[in-house]
Structure 1
Amino acid sequence: MYEKLETRTFLALLVGVSLAFVLLMKPFFGPIFWAVAIALIFHPVQQWLLRRIGDRPNTVALLTLTLCMVIVVIPVIVLITSLVAEGVSLYQQIQDGELRPGEYIDKVTQSFPAIQSLLDQFDIDLSGLRERAVNAFVGGSQFLAKQALGVGQNTFQFFLSLALMVYLAFFLLRDGHKLVELLIKALPLGDARERLLFAKFAEVTRATVKGNLLIAIIQGALGGFIFWVLGIKGALLWGVVMAIVSLLPAVGAAIVWVPAAVYLFAVGDWVQATVLTAFGVVVIGLADNILRPIFVGRDTKLPDYIVLLSTLGGIVMFGINGFVMGPLVAALFMAFWGIFIREFGEHDTTLGLGPRDLPDDDSSAT
């Protein structure tokens, strides 16, 4: 009896201390998460260097991290800095009256009276819609301006988070496999289940980060390129905005280039509008429709509609990190239920589920 009380007391304290540790780490969730993502994504590079250099873990981890900084971290910082600078310039032009978003909307409605008729059928107030669109445009540029001020005021915090991410990534690259084995020993789920879940975590994180970021870069570059070719102001800014919104499946860069094409049609620039529309539908649109299922859906082994819903839900719940966290939660949800059905459920039921329909447990986490 006394031994059971000791065990229960110890487990209660273990849970309490673990929760306290999680709360202690909560302010550093972002750097920790992206350090884990870097370690998972660059794990194949680390293994390749190990085969070439030999068993020198510190050197290999340092070289891998340096490569990550050159390929990913530094370009992203430069791109964000350019985006903020463009946003500040755009906001200043609006404040000085050089840009009047309301006039653009008025030109579109004047050129296409059918829009007014269509809105009237649904009892939609065009003036209210115009005001909300203008406020959204001004608010977006104002947000970027505030971010620029915030970055300037919180430079120390930004570089502290960056340094913490890089520092953690080094140790995760060097000792990540040891930490995984330690967690497998500590968690009371069964080694086979734990290896399956860790493998799924690594697989989905790699797929969503690499796939979504690659698609975002491609769509943003294509969108910025066509805006630059057509002489549309702020091509860099709109290219980066298209890259960001392309993280949203089924919406993507169209939320930027479609209004631009409509405006060009409204002001009579038919050639530019036609070129932008054709390029957006054929090139930018197909880049999303073809590449996303290949890079994200195939590697995560999730249906396209689950990828869409989990990405949107993840962004709502976790912010920008949600484009990874959402599909990750969905994949782990399906993995857990797959294990449950295989081990505790009945096979060949009315749903037609059998062992071959469920996740394999012979994967190993990296």
Structure 2
Amino acid sequence: MTERESNTNTAKFNNFSRWFLIFLVVAALAATLYVFKPFLVDIAIAAVLVTIFYNYYLKLTKFLHGHRRTASFLMCLILLVIIILPTINLVIYTANKSVLAYNEAVVYFENNSFSQALNHPVAERFNLGYLFSDIKDNNLINNTMLDFLKGFSNTLIAAAKSLVVGTTGFIVSLVVIIFTMYFFFIDGKKLLNYLTYLLPLKEKYTEEIFKKFHEISSTTIISTFVAALAQGAVGAIGFGIVGFPAFLAGIVIAFLSLMPVLGSALFYAPVGFYYLMMGQVWQGIFVLLWGFLIIGTVDNIVRALMIKDKAQINPIFVILSILGGIAVFGFWGVVLGPLVVSLLVTILHIYSLEFSNELKAENKNQDFPPQESMRLDNPILSDLLENILKTSKPERWGWLAKKSEEKDSVKSKKDPNGN
């Protein structure tokens, strides 16, 4: 065997060894994930909470003169008392209250039938009773509203029952979350450094992944639910003023506010028009104005104050990630669903950084996606507009065509040779 053949065989063996080692790593990782499968959701929740509150842990550690274990224990205790237990109590309390609110709503709709509104002189003048005879006879609107409220109430009750029935499993999950948070607070930094060392990525990209993950998880998730709670509170106040069951309205609006585009309008708009049809004009106008001006504005204000310049996820992906997360992960899917989408957004951001040169548009020194591409003073749009104007009749384009001609005239005066 020649030296060249020996070197070739050695290279093949080294290549085989490398791929075999990678296979072993993947197999061991898959086996470990399978073993941890019952607790993956709990570990993920602990990681999210530690990510959000890690800076407070550092401040507490500094206050305690570097006693990291004591600081970690206190942080876990604080999160347990302030966040986890109140969330559980809120679900149970909401379920109980929703039953009472549903009973109030039943009495309300029984005493205020839609068919009565169709007997109003104004409705009879336009013959609305004939047009909506089926609705009038069957009380379709009243029954639909009651069915919707009953289904919503049953959903909350089912969520509360799942917490009570699965008490043993829930306690185990809670213990896992607390202990995982405890060790993540203490050794989380070392774990991240080790993962950074192992990941086959440039250091700046690894740091970008953790940075974006922290920004998106802390800002998007918190702002989404704070905005929902704010809209629910404001909605409860407004509906309480007109005599509608305030607590039930607040809960429904808080949940619907997570939906893109329409959101809480799916509730306050039908109720407002219902009041108008019932002849309760000021209540109907008040509900519509309160919903459009107050409830809708609160969402934008809260998000603007909390997110500011941080990374955001499109609202449609937020609601889809929440619904999908609940279907896959259960109760904690409300948090984990958006985090999965956040991870995708982060990876796409890293991808755009690594392949920025390839993603640049041809003959355009501009990264994708262009941040200023839709501004009217963008040079690309300006040149395109000028070319269109030059090949069109000026009188059709008004002042824009004149402005383009004046610009060309100024250029020719400054540089007669066209250089």
| Structure-1-length-normalised TM-score | 0.79
Q: Distance in 1 between matches of 2:109 and 2:160?
A: 22
The reply on whether 1:85 has 2:99 as its aligned counterpart is: no
Q: Distance in 2 between matches of 1:171 and 1:106?
A: 63
Give the aligned residue type for 2:236. G
Q: Distance in 2 between matches of 1:48 and 1:89?
A: 44
Q: Distance in 1 between matches of 2:145 and 2:212?
A: 42
CA deviations on 1:238-260 (whole Å, 9 max, x unpaired) are 32332232223333333332233
Q: Distance in 1 between matches of 2:54 and 2:308?
A: 21
Give the aligned residue type for 2:237. F
- Match in the other structure for 2:163: 151
Tell me, yes or no, if the aligned pair for 1:91 and 1:142 is still in contact at 8 Å. no
Q: 1:11 aligns with which of 22, 34, 44?
A: 22
Tell me, yes or no, if the aligned pair for 1:313 and 1:322 is still in contact at 8 Å. no
Tell me, yes or no, if the aligned pair for 1:87 and 1:141 is still in contact at 8 Å. yes
Tell me, yes or no, if the aligned pair for 1:222 and 1:239 is still in contact at 8 Å. yes
The reply on whether 1:309 has 2:316 as its aligned counterpart is: yes
Tell me, yes or no, if the aligned pair for 2:95 and 2:153 is still in contact at 8 Å. no
- Match in the other structure for 2:9: none
CA deviations on 1:60-115 (whole Å, 9 max, x unpaired) are 12222333334322332222111111234456789xx75768x866667777979x
- Match in the other structure for 1:362: none
- Match in the other structure for 1:36: 47
CA deviations on 1:322-344 (whole Å, 9 max, x unpaired) are 662265045214312222223x6
Tell me, yes or no, if the aligned pair for 1:312 and 1:323 is still in contact at 8 Å. no
Q: Supply the RMSD in Å over aligned alpha carbons.
A: 3.6
Which moved further from structure 2: 7-16 or 288-297?
A: 288-297
Which moved further from structure 2: 195-204 or 153-162?
A: 153-162
1:54 alignment partner, SS class: coil
- Match in the other structure for 1:341: 355
- Match in the other structure for 1:200: 212
2:316 alignment partner, SS class: helix
- CA shift, 1:127, in A, is 8.1
- CA shift, 1:197, in A, is 0.9
CA deviations on 1:93-143 (whole Å, 9 max, x unpaired) are 89xx75768x866667777979x89x99xxxxx989867766544332333
Tell me, yes or no, if the aligned pair for 1:261 and 1:276 is still in contact at 8 Å. yes
The reply on whether 1:250 has 2:261 as its aligned counterpart is: yes
Distance 1:57 1:77, change over 3 A: same
Q: Could you list the runs of 5+ residues in structure 2 that have no partner in the other structure?
A: 1-11, 327-333, 372-419
- Match in the other structure for 1:60: 71
- Match in the other structure for 1:168: 180
The reply on whether 1:353 has 2:366 as its aligned counterpart is: yes
Which moved further from structure 2: 200-209 or 185-194?
A: 185-194
Q: Distance in 1 between matches of 2:114 and 2:28?
A: 57
CA deviations on 1:38-75 (whole Å, 9 max, x unpaired) are 11111221222233222111111222233333432233
- CA shift, 1:207, in A, is 0.9
Q: Could you list the runs of 5+ residues in structure 1 that have no partner in the other structure?
A: 121-125, 359-366
Question: Once the two structures are aligned, what percentage of the paired residues are identical?
Answer: 22
| Structure-2-length-normalised TM-score | 0.70
- The aligned runs of 1:111-260 (5 Å cut-off) are 135-233=147-245, 235-260=246-271
Distance 1:167 1:88, change over 3 A: farther
- Match in the other structure for 2:301: 290
Q: Distance in 2 between matches of 1:54 and 1:341?
A: 45
Distance 1:276 1:12, change over 3 A: same
